[in-house]
Structure 1
Amino acid sequence: MFPRSLKHSCPCCDPTQFGRREVIAAGLGLLACAGASTKATAQPPLPSIRRLRVQRALTEDGFDGVYFREGRYDREALHKLDWVFRDLSAAEVTPMDPRLFDVLHAVAERLDSSEAYVISSGYRTPERNSALRTSRVSSVSLHMSGMAADFRLPGFNAYGVARLAAEMQVGGVGLYRRDGFVHLDCGPPRRW
């Protein structure tokens, strides 16, 4: 079980704000994003070498290295990142969507940050997500698909990080001021 301080909620779609139509529209949006070519987006091209520095809250687990080079994701690096982003309560690892790492990389690059993201939540099992269900936790959370992370970035204000990420339009951005963390995902650009 997580300590009380990490029992935060992080919706990808807040069920109190979104009805069935919005959830279906979000799902269709995800499919459209997956099928869209990179040339069709307004995103700047990602560099040919991508690094990420992450540290898992409550554990000694971390990753500091290159996860993409020469036009390919490094399979070994992705496995290490999957371990860092695992569901701690169930000790369950799932393949994370590498586009999440691209989002985190892009934000760190824009911030010119050399600090490690301190990850409080990555992948969540459906059971874990259900146990967290409040008005702020969605039953269709992208955490369950390995597409989302909640974090703090030492040396940076959570509001500033969330605002920059939202301006970049690289995915979903949630700001949780009271808890002092930011949610990023590789779903459609949106904010809360």
Structure 2
Amino acid sequence: MLDLFNRRGGCPCCEPAMASRRTVLKAGFGVLAGCAALPKGAFAASLPGVRRLNVQRAVSDDSFDGVYFRDGKYDRAALHKLDWVFRDLSQAEVTPMDPRLFDVLSAVADRLDANEAFTIMSGYRTPEHNAATARQTRAASTVSLHMSGMAADFRLQGRDGIGVARTAAQMQVGGVGYYRQGFVHLDCGPPRRW
């Protein structure tokens, strides 16, 4: 059985015992170097030629339900719409999200044969918002991949969060966390779980 629960609630990528700050920063700089690059390896080979995503934002009416990748490239207009849905609501700030995050979400939805929308609790976080969140709860990391546009916390409507997290962890496509509040964290960083 997969051990998805780190009782301390922190992100192992960001915890000093699990990975160094340098490792996390390298991952962030990698996004800057190849943000729009196609995913590599076996994961990339398993992705369909047309990729779609169905997301809605908690606490707002923002949503996206459509194709964001086709004909071997990401659709810029669709990515801009997704960036808006995943923006930091508390700071009213939009940033370009890493498209590989959308690939991870899309792949998990495909594996689950899910047509339901991902309800996004948190996408991009400004450093200020992330610092405030980290002061309020130990579950938030001070070097979170949310600040690089590489992570999302969500619920998948009508699905058990633990089951979603287990499926995503088995896929080994990025970081996976499950939180007691019933939401799942997915990111496009190195495969790990908590």
Could you say which TM-score interval applies, normalised by the shorter chain? 0.7 to 0.9
Q: Give the aligned partner of residue 15 of structure 1.
A: 15
Is 1:188 matched with 2:194?
A: no
Whichever residue aligns with residue 187 of structure 1, its letter is G
Distance of aligned partners of 1:10 and 1:55 in 2 relative to their CA distance in 1, 3 Å threshold: farther
Aligned twin of 2:109 = 108
Letter of the aligned partner of 2:133 in structure 1? L
Equivalent pair of 1:158/1:175 in contact (CA under 8 Å): yes
In structure 2, distance between residues paired with 1:168 and 1:119: 21
Q: Distance in 1 between matches of 2:65 and 2:10?
A: 25
Letter in 1 for 2:66: G
1:127 aligned residue: 128
SS at match of 1:42: helix
Tell me the residue number matched to 1:168. Answer: 171
Residue deviations 1:9-62 (CA, integer Å, cap 9, x gap): 8746353754xx6232344467789889956x3324211100000000011100
Task: Please tell me whether the aligned partners of residues 13 and 138 of structure 1 are also in contact (alpha carbons under 8 angstroms).
Answer: no
C-alpha change, 1:132 and 1:50, in structure 2 (3 Å) is same
For the residue of structure 2 that corresponds to 1:51, the secondary structure is strand
1:55 aligned partner: 56
Distance 1:37 1:148, change over 3 A: closer
Aligned partners of 2:58 and 2:39: how far apart in 1? 33
Q: TM-score, normalised by structure 1?
A: 0.85
Partner of 1:3: none
Matched-pair contact (CA < 8 Å) for 1:14–1:137: no
Asked if the contact 2:176–2:193 (Cα under 8 Å) also holds between the matched residues in 1, the reply is: yes
Q: Distance in 1 between matches of 2:113 and 2:22?
A: 36
Report the number of matched residues. 180
**Among 126, 144, 150, which residue is 2:147 paired with?**
144
Quick one: distance in 2 between partners of 1:12 and 1:153?
23
Secondary structure at the counterpart of residue 80 of structure 1: helix
Structure 1 runs not aligned, ≥5 long = 1-8
Name the % identity: 65
Structure 1 residue 107, shift from structure 2 partner: 0.1
For 1:172 and 1:93, the matched residues in 2 are separated by 23
Partner of 1:42: 42
TM-score (normalised: structure 2): 0.84
Mapping of 1:62-73 within 5 angstroms? 62-73=63-74
Cα offsets for 1:46-87 (capped at 9, x unmatched): 111000000000111000000000001000000000000000
